Amino acid sequence: MAIKKSELYSSLWKGCDELRGGMDASQYKDYVLVLLFVKYVSDKYAGQPDALIEVPEGGSFQDMLALKGDKEIGDKINKIIARLAEANDLKGVIDVADFNDADKLGKGKDMQDRLSNLVSIFDSPGLNFSNNRAEGDDILGDAYEYLMRHFATESGKSKGQFYTPAEVSRIMAKVIGINATKSQSQTIYDPTCGSGSLLLKAADESKTGVTIYGQEMDNATAALAKMNMILHNNPTAEIWQDNTLSSPHFKDNGGNLKQHDYVVANPPFSTKAWSNGFDPANDLYERFADGIPPAKNGDYAFLLHIIRSLKSTGKGAVILPHGVLFRGNAEGGIRKSIIRKGYIKGIIGLPANLFYGTGIPACIIVVDKENAAGRTGLFMIDASKGFVKDGNKNRLRHQDIHKIVDVFNKQVEIAKYSRMVSVAEIEANDYNLNIPRYIDSSESEDLQDIAAHLKGGIPNADVDSMTAYWQVFPTLQKQLFDIGARAGYSAMKVAAAQVKPTIFAHPEFVSYTQSVSKLFQGWKANNIAQLKGISQESHPKQLIEQLSEDLLHTFDTVKLIDQYDVYQHLMSYWSDIMQDDAYLITADGWQAGNDASNGLIPPQLIIARYFAAERDAIEQLESERDAISRQMEELDEEHGGEDGLLAEAKNDKGKLTKVSVSARLKDIKNDTDAVDERKQLNAYLALIEQESIASKKVKDAQKLLDAKVAAQYAKLSADEIKTLVVEDKWLTTLAADVQTELDRVSQALTGRIKQLAERYAEPLPQLASDVAALNAKVEAHLLKMGFAL
């Protein structure tokens, strides 16, 4: 039986984290990722002649496994890694971490146990990379991504900069159009590549493959990037370790900077020592023709390096702090120059606290040299509000990524979110690109109408603000509102309590809900065969892409419901449940197993389809038992107080039990003054007996049902399993998710109308009159009691 991917990666992280020892996550990642590397190349290349990576004798993961429990395990692992490094020109790359470091891994038995356990973690059937690419789904890539995200999260503010969140990387890859590559000879370059995560995500977006170049200043991080290129099947990628600004490595035959088709980068923000090691005023590569950045802020140094590193048809994306959009002086001059040259295609403002090295908000600057000459405007997106909290960081959701990419690539203008800003308007703003100058994303204030509070009526402006609803339900407005007594104001036709039933019963609302449900049913009909057709040859990642894009397209014309919200429901359910199910099916086929242990078919689905009568009978028995329990509670409530008839029957814990009640009855058996107490005690004792009998009935019925369910698992046919999983589990859940979006529409409309009705229900003079009348009543009552105000 296959293990769930989510369980595999979480157990991998948990095991690694427990074995960390005397290191923080930024150091420990070097050990874990080296082992991941050795495991991968051993699975994929060991025993293969002419393989891209040679796995020499005594240099494999199997050799590491043989060392479990060995007193010299640390030293011997170092030697295994050294053999692998020497055979593949990887010295200084995979042998950076010392597995015999007692300060980090412990001494003697501690090191022996820690390393033995660490090696064992990677000896999992779920981490078998021998058919990784043949399966079409990147087990390794997912494991790597999971580990890197956790390492970055745990590494702290100053040490997590080696990793660009995958969600941001995907946006950058999609907005530079790298999916349009024609040949693998086209190049992509990252001048501050870190661990290579951004480069890899961008390269993966290419349909043809691309040639990869990266440079990284930190030695250990550059080594990590080189490993990761091999781990992700890009062994020919060129990664160089050095300072990009002072010593750029990649040059053409003339000694000039090599120019690339695509560039992506997430450079360190606002670095102060950017010009160390060279004179920007006499730059050999002519990168600063548009101006020299400030001596203590290198943001524009990286941007200018990127622009210079692009071909005349090149496209790029770089993550920078928002300050580059509006800071003045030297940076203002550079910004003016590159805007006038048309290099900047657009700007995407991101939420704060996305990145691991900093909590400040950043933006993506999209560069496009190819269309620079004719550029008359910049496309701006304010995506700062689209995210979900994830621990101590914010994270972009699937819907946020898709919306940003769609809106940017199609240049769609959306109020409070995106717009095309002309260069003329930017010039009028002195080339300040601060996004709030051009996009007001603030929430509209709900203004109170003083005249309505004084004279009554509901302002027509408030009614008109719900135009989006009236366009879908054109006659509903007239059913809810009437012309008011004064110009510019309306009156409610129905009481506040009747707003919801009026909306729900309206033919246009009923028709709308039916049309939305029909759309989902259409999507279901289009895809159910594909879902039931999942096999061991299927590729889950391709499957979810097809399903989600079709769902997005299905809801793209629905008014009042955001198609991206519906899309997010599917993607969240995929991440939480469907993905694991799909991988179990591709690994084992449509097997239910002998019980619910694999989670593919929860017991409640079996019960609902095959044993509904038994379930209902148990619920009836539970109801009868609970009714007896309530009688006991009522009796205790009435007579169990301090002076109550049942008070003396309670045990030391203040509870009425069969033992304590029986003991009290025995004590007062011959007490002629305790007739009423004996009566209540006997009544309570009878209820205890009845509850015990009722509970046993429930327990016996549940036990019998559990046995039937367990037997049913073994009898299920493949078609029955498909019905249970696809129809009863997946599609039923997704249908309920779509219904939540319909509920959101009705709740928003109902809530707003009730709010307006209640807000202006009584004008101020009426309230004042009511208060005066109440005051008069109070004074009259006081006078009757002899008090005068």
Identify how many contiguous H helices and E strands the chain contains and give both numbers: 31, 14
Full DSSP string of 299-336: HHHHHHHHHHTEEEEEEEEEEEETHHHH--HHHHHHHH
Torsion sign over Cα 555, 556, 559, 563: positive
Radius of gyration in angstroms for the set of CA atoms belonging to the chain, rounded to a whole number: 35
- Sorted by sequence, the CB contacts under 8 Å of residue 515 that are 6+ apart come out as none
Beta bridge partners, 458, equal 490
- Sorted by sequence, the CB contacts under 8 Å of residue 584 that are 6+ apart come out as 2, 4, 598, 599, 600
Which pLDDT score, from 0 to 100, does residue 598 have? Answer: 61
CA-nearest of 138, 107, 135 to 21 is 107
Which pLDDT score, from 0 to 100, does residue 789 have? Answer: 64
Which pLDDT score, from 0 to 100, does residue 96 have? Answer: 85
Exposed/middle/buried for residue 222 (C-beta within 10 Å: 0-12, 13-18, 19+): buried
* Apex 686 CA angle, 680 and 687, nearest 5: 90
CA-nearest of 513, 526, 492, 561 to 753 is 492
At 146, is the secondary structure helix, strand, or coil? helix
Query: 10-residue block means of pLDDT along the chain (789 residues)?
Result: 70 74 75 87 86 91 94 96 93 89 90 91 79 50 76 63 83 95 95 92 92 93 87 89 96 94 95 94 96 96 98 97 96 97 98 83 96 96 95 91 98 97 97 96 88 90 96 96 93 92 96 97 97 92 95 96 97 94 89 68 95 97 97 94 92 94 93 92 96 97 96 94 97 97 96 93 73 80 78
Which pLDDT score, from 0 to 100, does residue 134 have? Answer: 32
- The one-character DSSP state at 50 is T
Give the separation between CA 268 and CA 321, rounded to whole angstroms.
10
Give the separation between CA 175 and CA 458, rounded to whole angstroms.
46
- Sorted by sequence, the CB contacts under 8 Å of residue 66 that are 6+ apart come out as none
Which pLDDT score, from 0 to 100, does residue 162 have? Answer: 63
Give the separation between CA 671 and CA 686, rounded to whole angstroms.
21
Q: How many CA atoms lie within 13 A of 379 on its CB side?
A: 17
Give the separation between CA 641 and CA 629, rounded to whole angstroms.
18
Q: How do beta strands 211-216 and 187-190 pair?
A: parallel
Which pLDDT score, from 0 to 100, does residue 485 have? Answer: 87
pTM (predicted TM-score)? 0.87
Q: How many CA atoms lie within 13 A of 710 on its CB side?
A: 7
Exposed/middle/buried for residue 431 (C-beta within 10 Å: 0-12, 13-18, 19+): buried
- Sorted by sequence, the CB contacts under 8 Å of residue 338 that are 6+ apart come out as 290, 303, 304, 307, 344
Give the separation between CA 311 and CA 644, rounded to whole angstroms.
91
Q: What are phi and psi of 190, to 5 degrees?
A: -130, 110
Give the separation between CA 319 and CA 192, rounded to whole angstroms.
11
At 703, is the secondary structure helix, strand, or coil? helix
b/e map 271-285, b = 16+ CB within 10 Å: beebbeebebeebeb
Torsion of CA 443, 446, 447, 450, to 10 degrees: -170
Residue written as token pair 């409530």: 637
